[in-house]
Structure 1
């Protein structure tokens, strides 16, 4: 039978999205896509209960009985080989630090200890998925970023993720690069957007959606905040676009939905620095992340 099924999972700071995927033709099985939103700072057992619910609903809706493995895109810092969460002081998963998430999943889902559960950086999964979706990118040097509660990035050369060497930052990460009065993620993230809006107006917003809605309503300060984030993103990645020789730059993550307010300022800053590359916004970054995660099982030894 020419079918091999895996569970692809995209885990973020506020959501889990699950789908069953035929990894031989990289297709999401009909009706299997399921998403749950939650507070990742809840106690571990409550977070795991949400994950369990989402995974079981997805598998049940897919009507697939023979699942070969599970592949998860997870935000960093995270020990992807061992499955140990290293997230600390990032306003998400505050109770998961130093816990083995693979063991938690085996236990919560009552899986055998040898059932494959693989992990990869969420931005790497997104980037790989985008390459799978667009065959033209298989011959290019691609940099993909995810903009959301954090700032993720990956560098892909002809379909292979690159995280070492002088042409990419350490571990292929840009969130922790020194920038202005802190690090890149302090400025290019939901937190950065909200902090900037508060500093300019004195008003505290609850989430990025509120800021987006203000921008849609033509709030000048909200629009300014997105534009400044676009410039900040460009300044963070400029040197790495040149060092890696990036030909295609792809933007995903929840903030990508607000690209109408930051993409022009991002492109303008690239042009000012004589950078000419293809810049695109992912049309369905969650599907890309799920496909990228599932691809881990294709290359598994």
Structure 2
């Protein structure tokens, strides 16, 4: 690749993280990492202004002028090939449904129509990035799970994302698997945690951080909600751990920071199912997702 740097974006329901990545070394350029929190249900033009601000600041702080492309981690449903958003009814990006995000980015950044902009599922980016960070995973079957405003997953066999076949759920997604009275994401997500806490306590919280703070201060209902989420997550993924013959489960996303609260119940359920699998929590979600995103440009260039 002639230009050894690219822009990586990790876009979630409440945040954007942008950075310039050295493609040769697969590392984040010093001082280029930029984060912005925002409400993704704002009008499209306001969201794009926030994105443009983060991307421009990342480029400016990197002191690097030439970029090989832009690689974006984006939650689904999303047409990753065409760059079209199909998110609906998930309390995020309500105004983006049916819009071409590639064109929105090109326009807001005043880039030419042929500038490479590639998209991938946020969980796949996270999983691929973790494989880059831990090279021993290149020989393993890895399930990467992201816990945040949504429930993401990817299945990676020897470094390659698997989205079809009998060994994985449709498109490698678990958020929409039928579970209890709805789908998996209704129970394992920030929305699920807050809904469960409200059902138990009658109290409406604004976000997951409030719930986490209650739990670490000893609120037994808050603690029980996280524990139940761990049990629910195990029930959802155990059939697929077995089906895929996974060696390693890596958990990331904002809720992963509360691992001490839900991992014990998760691992207990997995062991009770007679499964031996390595379980770990990512210590650097953002860098993993950004590296995984930019690896798309390397793959694209090599084709």
TM-score of the two chains, using structure 1 as the length reference = 0.99
> What is the match of residue 91 of structure 1?
91
Unmatched segments (≥5 aa) in structure 2: none
CA contact (8 A) 1:129 1:288 kept: yes
Q: Secondary structure at the match of 1:112?
A: coil
Alpha-carbon distance in 2 for matches of 1:105, 1:98:
15
1:75 aligns with 2:75: yes
Aligned pairs for 1:76-155 within 5 A: 76-155=76-155
> What is the match of residue 231 of structure 1?
231
Shift of 1:2: 8.2
1:197 aligns with 2:197: yes
Shift of 1:3: 6.0
Q: How many pairs align?
A: 301
Q: Secondary structure at the match of 1:283?
A: coil
> What is the match of residue 6 of structure 1?
6
CA contact (8 A) 1:2 1:24 kept: no
1:280 aligns with 2:280: yes
Shift of 1:24: 1.5
Alpha-carbon distance in 2 for matches of 1:14, 1:238:
29
- Hey, which bits of structure 1, 4+ residues long, moved more than 4 A? none
Shift of 1:25: 1.4
Q: Secondary structure at the match of 1:153?
A: strand
Q: What value does the CA root-mean-square deviation take over the aligned residues? A: 0.9
> What is the match of residue 53 of structure 2?
53
CA contact (8 A) 1:3 1:22 kept: no
> What is the match of residue 158 of structure 1?
158
> What is the match of residue 257 of structure 2?
257
Unmatched segments (≥5 aa) in structure 1: none
Residue deviations 1:150-204, cap 9 Å, x none? 0000000000000000000000000000000000000000000000000001111
Residue deviations 1:91-143, cap 9 Å, x none? 00000000000000111111000000000000000000000000000000000
Alpha-carbon distance in 2 for matches of 1:260, 1:238:
20
TM-score of the two chains, using structure 2 as the length reference = 0.98
